[in-house]
Amino acid sequence: MSAHAPVAAAAADTAGTAGTASTVAATAMDDTAVAGTAERLTVRQNRGMDSASSFPQPLLRHPLRRIGAREFDFSRQVAVMAVVNRTPDSFYDRGATFALDHAVRASLAAVAAGADWVDIGGVPFAPGPELPVAEECDRVLPVVRAVRAASDCVISVDTFQPEVARRGIEAGATVINDTTGLFHPELANVVADSEATLVITHSLASPRTQYPHPRYNDVVVEIGDYLLRRVELAMARGVPEQRIVIDPGHDLNKNTLHTLEITRRLGELTALGHPTLVAVSNKDFIGETLDAPREARLEGSLAAMVACILAGARIVRMHNVPESVAAVRMTEAILGVRQPAYLKHNMGEFNTHE
C-alpha cells in the first residue's frame, strides 16, 4: 500500500454519501486541468522559439562575445571549432595536415563546411620532447596567415608558449587556446596586451609529461576550483573576464571514468558563468567506452558532444566538421535557440517551401 493510501481511505470514509458529488466535482476539475494543459501547450507552440526548454542552460555573466570579426551570443548559439594539427604525431590524424598546404586546405574546408572557428596547433598534448619555440612558430604562423587572408573566421593558436602566442596574435589569431592552464602565467600578459580571447584548460601535469595515475577526490569539484583560480590569475594579469573561456580538459590527465563523470556532471562547470569549451572528439574515453579504434569513434564523439551542449557547453572542438555542424545545429533547434531551415511537414496552407 502506498504512503498516501491511508489518507485517501480516510477521505473516502468522511465523504460518505457525498461521494457522487465529489466524483462530479473531481471530473470537472480534471476537465479544467486538461483544458489548462492544452491551453499552455498551445501557447508554447505559438510562441515557437520562445518555448521553455527542459534542458537548463547556464547563466553566463558575459554571453555576448566579439572574437575578432565574429560576434557570438553564447546564450543562444554554439560555436564549432575545427581541429587542424600541424604536427607529424597527432593522436588522431597522424600527420594528415602536417604539410603546410594540407593544413591550409583543411582549415578552409572546415570553414566552408560550417565551422565558426579553426584551432591550429603545432605541438600535441601527448608526452614527448619539447619543441623549440622557433619550430613551433614555423609550423603554426604560416597557417594562421593563410587562413586569415582568406577568412574572417575565429582562429585560435593551441599553445602554452607566450612567444608563440604573441606571434600568433600578430599573424591574425584571435584566440589563444592554452591546454596547460597557464603553466606559463606570463601567457596571460600576452593576451591581456591584445584583443584576443584566452581559453584556460584544466591540466595537472607539466606540458608534454606523463601523468599515469591521476587521482581525484571529486574530479568535477576539483576541476571547478582549479579553473576559478586560473581565471582569477588571468584577470589579475589583465585579461578581462569577458575574454575568458574555460575548458574542463576531457581526458587530459584523467582516465575514462573521470572523463565520463565530467561529461555527466558538466552542468556544474558550465554554471560557473564562463563560456565552456569541450574537446571530446575521437578521444580515448570514447574508444575505451565503445571498444572502438580511432577511425570508428564518430558516433561516440557526436553523442558526447550533444550531451555536453545540453549541459551548457557553448564551444565544441571537433575533427569531423560536417557531421558535427549538423549535430550542433539540430541540438540548437531542440533547445529552441535556432529556427528550422524551413517548415513543410504538416504545415498546410503555410507551406511555402518545396
Q: Per the residue annotation, which of 237, 243, 283, 297 is the catalytic one? A: 283
Question: What average pLDDT does this structure show over 304-313?
Answer: 98
The pLDDT, as a whole number, for residue 49 is 40
Domains in the chain, CATH or no CATH each: 64-335 (3.20.20.20)
* pLDDT at 238 exceeding the cut of 90: yes
* pLDDT at 14 exceeding the cut of 50: no
The pLDDT, as a whole number, for residue 105 is 96
Average pLDDT of the residues of the chain: 87
The pLDDT, as a whole number, for residue 349 is 64
Q: Is 283 a catalytic residue?
A: yes
- Per DSSP (E only), the strands in the chain are 64-67, 70-73, 79-85, 117-121, 154-158, 175-178, 197-201, 244-247, 277-278, 315-318
CA 319 to chain centre: 14
The pLDDT, as a whole number, for residue 350 is 59
Q: What percent of the chain has pLDDT over 90?
A: 72
Question: What average pLDDT does this structure show over 7-25?
Answer: 41
Of residues 105, 218, 123, the one with CA closest to residue 177: 123
Q: Write out pLDDT tens, residues 147-167.
A: 999 999 999 999 999 999 999
Answer whether 203's CB lies under 8 Å from 253's CB: yes
Q: Write out pLDDT tens, residues 52-111.
A: 678 888 899 999 999 999 999 999 999 999 999 998 866 666 667 779 999 999 999 999
- Per DSSP (E only), the strands in 122-247 are 154-158, 175-178, 197-201, 244-247
Q: Is 254 a catalytic residue?
A: no
Q: Write out pLDDT tens, residues 182-226.
A: 999 999 999 999 999 999 999 998 887 777 899 999 999 999 999
Q: Which residue has the cell 619550430?
A: 135
Q: Which residue has the cell 566538421?
A: 321
